[in-house]
């Protein structure tokens, strides 16, 4: 199928940031499709957008303005924004739009800076986000983002959410005087095996009822025939997504088969890719990305670059993919994007900016430089307590008794950790096999016998250990939820022990289960406000460590490095605050704002800390030791993972994107493991 070689619509010039174009009255404002000339029309004039994705939930609020300004000065007219449902409705009927969740403030800031917005409110967003942003914890027991046949309870939950969110959006629509030019309905629904047009029609009706008849609603799918057949619907303008390795003519030709007329749109042009635990950092050539961008702009296409700034998966919000096995996403969502995780311009950004300058004027003004970084030095950590010795603090309501293990979902534990406790039912003088059924450790279990660490069981890895002991010895398994699937071949993703543990094939029973409220305890001042526990100095296993570091009148971005540690979660609190910001490149500016000198408390939860220097402040010669707050870090995962994109049946959503996987760049404050085993942040 032939495509136009010359744009039929000429994009409108950029408004100057210092002198924004006066807004037309709401009655005169319009953003529409022009099927005759194959373009958008904004206020009646031909329009083509060049956009970039940014996720407010992955950027600390104090850094929003910096990141958006850099995107504007890169030549973007528009930003694309996801709204994660479960980030705002944390429990059924419990909504949070404060602080970093204040999406209205974020949208208002984009308008202030002269940027248009493409909004993607889901309800499914993928985005490598916990459970794809779908449903708050506890909507029902099914731990899948979007069920195959949409049950009434799920549809009711979706409707309730949209009735809360979309009234906040309507006044910000372009036709109402705002800057939101289009709104996506669902996301890549054609990759979902159900192919349920009734579900899409229901969503279309809800969006129209709540947003009005004038707003442009659209869908996004990959360029496969099946995806476009199941993901499109009359009344929703179809767009496609593909990366720089794709054949542009073929991809847009596929779009033309479902949208014979109208603008060409790539809603997700991949500038990089994400990271999975244990795999290599994503790296996509700047020249390659720039070349593909120029090819599409020469066709007159509107383009959104995913991601333009990736940011960080704070707290428990990182999701997972499933392709033959469970693939959890790292804390870093750097994405090898044009703006690094630290918010710094990269070579890729300037290559993109050069391409954009060939098609439209760039805004006036210099690109802000990289943020200054400061190395705060080594932090001596002292062991505060073994995790099993503080269960009374972490689970004040006490354990739940059960004959057999229960899942996180059954106990309304949305995220984090739970401890499963029982006893050996008989003497085991010779090594016996402690095992779990396949795929029943979700996702990572740290095994302790008599409070001594025995080893780790993993979801798609090791599922057996050999143990010895006496009847009545305590057996504890700390289960970690590493993120629910947002895209992949599973229909559900329950967490915890999904099957019975057995000893030499005989099931263990009589469990006490502790849902751990670690964040609640830390927010209440623990452990800094508590007396140290008397723990075994040489004991190996999950433990808490504390320390402080000085900020000598300098509150700059930094990077936390854990040389030799295995897996940690960290919390850093500012002076006078029990639970200041705990992560991200702005942590130094937010939590570390000081007078002349301030001591900044640090809490580290280390599920797999090794027993070196646990009770002294000297640097360890190997393994566990102090960690370093450094301006520059060389920590990188050196274990290469398979390249390429995705294929297969995710619930079943199919994916075919670009090459590579994500990273942890210097200049951001969160944890790292120089051994490249695991890393995580905690807030």
Catalytic residues: 188, 268
Q: Where does 365-480 show beta strands of DSSP type E? A: 377-379, 382-386, 400-402, 417-423, 428-435, 441-442, 444-449, 452-458, 464-469, 474-480
Residue with tokens 């623990």: 526
**87 exposure class (CB count in 10 Å sphere: 0-12, 13-18, 19+):** buried
Q: To 10 degrees, what angle do helices 347-357 and 286-298 make?
A: 20
Residue 82, helix vs strand vs coil? strand
In this structure, what token pair is assigned to residue 198?
């009734």
In this structure, what token pair is assigned to residue 253?
């030709």
Peptide bond into 123 cis (omega under 30): yes
How distant is the alpha carbon of residue 517 from its chain centre?
21
54-67 burial, b at 16+ Cβ within 10 Å, e below that, comes to: bbbbbbbbbbbebb
| Phi and psi at residue 285, to the nearest 5° | -55, 130
Peptide bond into 478 cis (omega under 30): no
Instruction: Report d(CA 603, CA 590) in Å as an integer.
Output: 17
Q: How far, in Å, are 59, 624, 669 from residue 582 at the CA level?
A: 12, 22, 9
Q: How far, in Å, are 266, 287, 315, 667 from residue 293 at the CA level?
A: 10, 10, 34, 28
Residue 318, helix vs strand vs coil? strand
Instruction: Report d(CA 587, CA 305) in Å as an integer.
Output: 27
How distant is the alpha carbon of residue 414 from its chain centre?
16
Nearest to 121 by CA among 165, 55, 177, 64: 165
């Amino acid at each position: 199928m032939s495509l136009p070689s010359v744009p039929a619509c000429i994009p409108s010039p950029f408004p100057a940031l210092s002198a924004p174009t006066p807004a037309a009255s709401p009655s005169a404002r319009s953003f529409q499709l022009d099927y005759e000339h194959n373009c958008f029309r904004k206020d009646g004039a031909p329009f083509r957008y060049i956009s970039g994705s940014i996720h407010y939930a992955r950027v600390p609020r104090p850094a929003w303005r910096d990141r958006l300004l850099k995107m504007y000065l890169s030549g973007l007219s528009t930003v694309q924004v996801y709204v994660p449902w479960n980030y705002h409705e944390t429990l059924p009927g419990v909504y949070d739009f404060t602080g970093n969740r204040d999406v209205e403030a974020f949208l208002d800031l984009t308008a202030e800076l002269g940027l248009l917005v493409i909004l993607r409110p889901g309800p499914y967003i993928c985005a490598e986000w916990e459970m794809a942003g779908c449903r708050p914890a506890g909507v029902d027991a099914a731990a899948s983002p979007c069920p195959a046949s949409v049950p009434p309870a799920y549809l009711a939950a979706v409707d309730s959410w949209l009735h809360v969110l979309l009234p906040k959006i309507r006044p910000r629509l372009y036709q109402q005087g705002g800057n939101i030019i289009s709104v996506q309905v669902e996301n890549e629904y054609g990759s979902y095996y159900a192919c349920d047009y009734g579900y899409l029609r229901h969503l279309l009706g809800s969006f129209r009822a709540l947003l009005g008849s004038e707003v442009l609603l659209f869908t996004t799918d990959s360029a496969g025939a099946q995806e476009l057949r199941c993901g499109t619907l009359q009344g929703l303008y179809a767009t496609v997504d593909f990366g720089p390795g794709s054949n542009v003519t073929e991809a847009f030709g596929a779009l033309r088969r479902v949208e014979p007329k109208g603008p060409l749109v790539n809603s997700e042009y991949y500038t990089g890719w994400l990271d999975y635990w244990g795999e290599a950092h994503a790296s996509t050539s700047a020249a390659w990305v720039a070349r593909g961008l120029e090819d599409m702009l020469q066709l007159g296409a509107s383009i959104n670059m995913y991601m333009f700034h990736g940011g960080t998966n704070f707290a428990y919000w990182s999701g997972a993919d499933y392709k033959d096995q469970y693939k959890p996403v790292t804390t870093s969502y750097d994405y090898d994007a044009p703006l690094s995780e630290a918010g710094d311009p990269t070579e890729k950004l300037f290559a993109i900016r050069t391409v954009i300058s060939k098609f439209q004027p760039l805004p006036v003004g210099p690109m802000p430089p990289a943020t200054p970084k400061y190395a705060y030095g080594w932090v001596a950590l002292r062991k505060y307590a073994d995790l099993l010795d503080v269960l009374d603090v972490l689970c004040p309501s006490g354990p739940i008794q059960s004959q057999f293990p229960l899942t996180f979902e059954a106990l309304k534990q949305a995220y984090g950790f739970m401890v499963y406790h029982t006893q050996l039912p008989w003497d085991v003088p010779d090594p016996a096999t402690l095992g779990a059924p396949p795929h029943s450790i979700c996702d990572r279990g740290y095994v302790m016998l008599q409070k001594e660490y025995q080893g780790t069981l993993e979801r798609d890895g090791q599922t057996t250990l050999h143990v010895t002991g006496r009847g009545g010895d305590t057996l504890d398994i700390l289960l970690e939820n590493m993120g629910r699937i947002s895209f992949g071949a599973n229909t559900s993703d329950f967490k915890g022990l999904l099957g019975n543990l057995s000893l030499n094939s005989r099931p263990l029973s009589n469990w006490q289960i502790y849902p751990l409220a670690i964040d609640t305890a830390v927010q209440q001042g623990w452990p800094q406000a508590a007396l140290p526990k008397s723990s075994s100095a040489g004991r190996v296993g999950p433990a808490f460590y504390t320390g402080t570091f000085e900020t000598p009148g300098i509150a700059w971005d930094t990077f936390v490095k854990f040389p030799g540690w295995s897996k940690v979660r960290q919390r850093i609190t500012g002076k006078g605050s029990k639970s200041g910001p705990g992560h991200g490149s702005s942590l130094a500016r937010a939590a570390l704002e000081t007078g002349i000198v301030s001591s900044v408390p640090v809490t580290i939860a280390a599920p797999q800390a090794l027993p070196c220097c646990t009770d002294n402040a000297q640097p360890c010669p190997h393994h566990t030791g102090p960690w370093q707050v450094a301006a520059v870090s060389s920590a990188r995962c050196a274990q290469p993972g398979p390249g390429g994109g995705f294929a297969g049946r995710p619930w079943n959503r199919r994916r075919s994107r670009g090459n590579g996987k994500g990273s942890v760049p210097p200049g951001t404050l969160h944890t790292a493991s120089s051994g490249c085993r695991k890393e995580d942040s905690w807030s």
